[in-house]
Amino acid sequence: MSKHTPGFHPTPVYLNLLKVAGLVLFLIGLGLFTFSNFQDQFRITPEIAEQLSAHIPDAEIRQRLSPVVNQTFDNKFILIDNINRLLNPDHSIQDYQMGEYRFWILKTALSGSIREQALNWFFFSVVLAVAGALLYILTGLHRKPGIKHDGIFFDSAMMRGITGILLGGYLIGFYIVLYWFPQYLVQSIALVDPVSEWLRNRPADRWFMYGFLYTLAVSVMGIRMFIKYRHSNYHLVRTASVIFFQLAFAFLIPSLLERLNKPSMDFKNAWPLNYTFFTDWNLNSLIAGGNLGWFMLFWGIVLSLILVPVFTYFYGKRWYCSWVCGCGGLAETLGDPFRQLSDKSLNAWRVERGLIYSVLVFAVVMTVMQVVNYLSEGAIFGDYTWRVNQAYSFWIGSAFAGVIGTGFYPLMGNRVWCRFGCPLAAYMGIVQKFKSRFVITTNGSQCISCGNCSTYCEMGIDVRWYAQRGQNIIRASCVGCGVCAAVCPRGVLKLELTNPGERYNLVPDDEINALMEKN
Amino acid sequence: MTDLVIVGNGIAGVTVARHVRKRSNRHITIISAETDHHFSRTALMYIFMGHMAYQNTKPYEDHFWKKNRIDLVRGYVTHLDTTAKILTLANGDKIPYGQLVLATGSKSNKFGWPGQDLPGVQGLYSYQDVELLEKNARGASRAVIVGGGLIGIELAEMLLSRQIAVTFLVREKTYWSNILPEEDSRLVSRHILEHGVDLRLSSELSEILAGPTGRVRAVRTASGEEIPCQIVGLTPGVHPNIDLAKAGGVPTGRGILVNDYLETQIPDVFSCGDCAEIEVPGDARNRVEQLWYTGRMQGYALAKTLCGDRTAYQRGIWFNSAKFMDIEYQTYGFVANKPRSGEEHFYWEHPGGKIAARLVFDQADRAVTGMNFFGMRMKHPVCEGWIKGRRPVESVLSDLNAANFDPEFFRSYQRDIIAAFNQQYQASVPEPKRRFLQRFFA
| Beta-strand relationship, B238-240 and B256-258 | unpaired
CB contact under 8 Å between B52 and A451, yes or no, is: yes
Which residues does A305 contact at the CB level (< 8 Å), separation at least 6? none
Interatomic CA distance for residues A224 and A219, integer angstroms: 9
Check B410 against A150: CB less than 8 A apart: no
Averaged confidence pLDDT in chain A? 94
Q: What is the DSSP string of A73-112?
A: ES-HHHHHHHHHHHH-TTS-S-HHHHHHHHHHHHHHHB-S
**Mind telling me how many Å the CA of B247 is from chain A's nearest CA?**
32
pLDDT of B435 reads: 61
**Inter-chain touch A149–B165, beta carbons under 8 Å:** no
Angle at which helices A193-200 and A206-228 cross, to 10°: 100
**Interchain pair B296, A497: CB under 8 A:** no
Distance CA(B105)–CA(B126), nearest Å, equals: 10
First vs last C-alpha separation in chain A: 56
Grouping H, G, I as helix, E, B as strand and the rest as coil, residue A272 is coil
* Position A516 confidence tier, pLDDT thresholds 50, 70, 90: very low
Q: For residue B257, how many other CB atoms are within 10 A of its CB?
A: 20
Residues of chain B neighbouring A455 (CB-CB closer than 8 A): 51-52, 56
Look at residue A508 in the predicted model and tell me its pLDDT: 45
**What's the CA gap between A372 and A377, in Å, rounded?**
8
d(CA B208, CA B217): 8
Which residue from B3, B232, B17, B261 is spatially nearest to B133, judged by alpha carbons? B232
Handedness of CA A395, A400, A404, A406 (dihedral sign): negative
Rounded mean pLDDT, A163-172 = 98
Distance from A7 to chain B by nearest Cα, in Å?
5
Q: Do B196 and A494 touch (CB under 8 A)?
A: no
CB contact under 8 A, A448 and B40: yes
List Cβ<8 Å contacts ≥24 apart for A94-101.
A99/A182, A99/A183, A100/A55, A101/A55, A101/A56, A101/A61
pLDDT at B438: 52
- What pLDDT is recorded for position A511? 47
Chain A CA closest to residue B313 = A516
Q: What is the pLDDT of residues A325-344, one digit of tens each?
A: 999 999 999 999 999 999 99
Nearest CA in chain A to B165: A8
CA angle A354, A408, A176 (to 5 degrees): 105
Rounded mean pLDDT, A478-497: 97
B-chain residues near A465 (CB < 8 A)? 59
Give the residue from B113, B120, B324 showing the smallest Cα distance to B233: B120
Window A:448-507, CB contacts with B under 8 Å: 448-452, 454-455, 464-465, 468, 482, 485-486, 489-491, 494-495, 497
Domains and CATH numbers, chain A: 40-111 (no CATH), 437-518 (3.30.70.20)
In B43-175, which ranges are continuous DSSP H helix? Answer: 44-49, 63-67, 127-137, 150-161
- Please state the φ and ψ torsions of residue A147, each to the nearest 5 degrees: -75, 120
CA distance A335 to A315: 23
Pair A402, A214: CB distance under 8 Å:
no
pLDDT at A318 > cutoff 80 = yes
The angle formed by the CA atoms of residues A71, A74 and A76, to the nearest 5 degrees, is 100
**Chain B residues whose beta carbon lies within 8 Å of the beta carbon of residue A149:** 46, 49-51
pLDDT tens profile A20-55: 999 999 999 999 999 999 999 999 999 998 899 999
**Min Cα–Cα distance to chain A from B404, Å:** 10
Give the chain A residue nearest B297 (alpha carbons): A513
Q: Which domains does chain B have, with CATH numbers?
A: 4-107+239-306 (3.50.50.60), 121-236 (3.50.50.60), 319-441 (3.50.50.60)
Q: Spell out which residues of chain B touch residue A6, defining contact as CB-CB under 8 Å.
A: 198
Q: A484: nearest CA in chain B? A: B407
Find out whether the peptide bond into A12 is cis, omega within 30 degrees of 0.
no
Number of inter-chain CB pairs under 8 A, A vs B? 172
pLDDT at residue A356, rounded to an integer: 98
pLDDT value, residue B404:
95
Residue B378 DSSP one-character state: B
Give the predicted TM-score (pTM) of the model: 0.95
pLDDT at residue A510, rounded to an integer: 42
Would you state the torsion angle of the CA atoms of residues A250, A252, A256, A259, taken in this order, to the nearest 10 degrees? 90
Nearest CB to B407; choose among A4, A443, A482: A482
CA distance A210 to A216: 10
pLDDT in the model for residue A506: 55
Q: What is the ipTM of this complex?
A: 0.95
Side chain identity, residue B76 = Y
**What is chain B's pLDDT, residue by residue, as a tens digit (442 residues)?**
579 999 999 999 999 999 999 999 999 999 999 999 999 999 999 999 999 999 999 999 999 999 999 999 999 999 999 999 999 999 999 999 999 999 999 999 999 999 999 999 999 999 999 999 999 999 999 999 999 889 999 999 999 999 999 999 999 999 999 999 999 999 999 999 999 999 999 999 999 999 999 999 999 999 999 999 999 999 999 999 999 999 999 999 999 999 999 999 999 999 999 999 999 998 889 999 999 999 999 999 999 999 999 999 998 899 999 999 999 999 999 999 999 999 999 999 999 999 999 999 999 999 999 999 999 999 999 999 999 999 999 999 999 999 999 999 999 999 999 999 999 999 999 988 766 555 554 4
Q: What is the pLDDT of residues A68-100, one digit of tens each?
A: 999 999 999 999 999 999 999 999 999 889 999
Q: How many CB atoms lie within 10 A of CB B123?
A: 25
Please tell me if residue A154 touches chain B, with a CB cutoff of 8 Å: yes
Across the interface, do B218 and A1 touch by the CB < 8 Å criterion? yes
For chain B, say whether A444 makes contact (Cβ under 8 Å): yes
Chain A partners of B57 at a C-beta cutoff of 8 Å?
A: 450-451
pLDDT digits (tens, 9 = 90+) for B114-155: 999 999 999 999 999 999 999 999 999 999 999 988 999 999
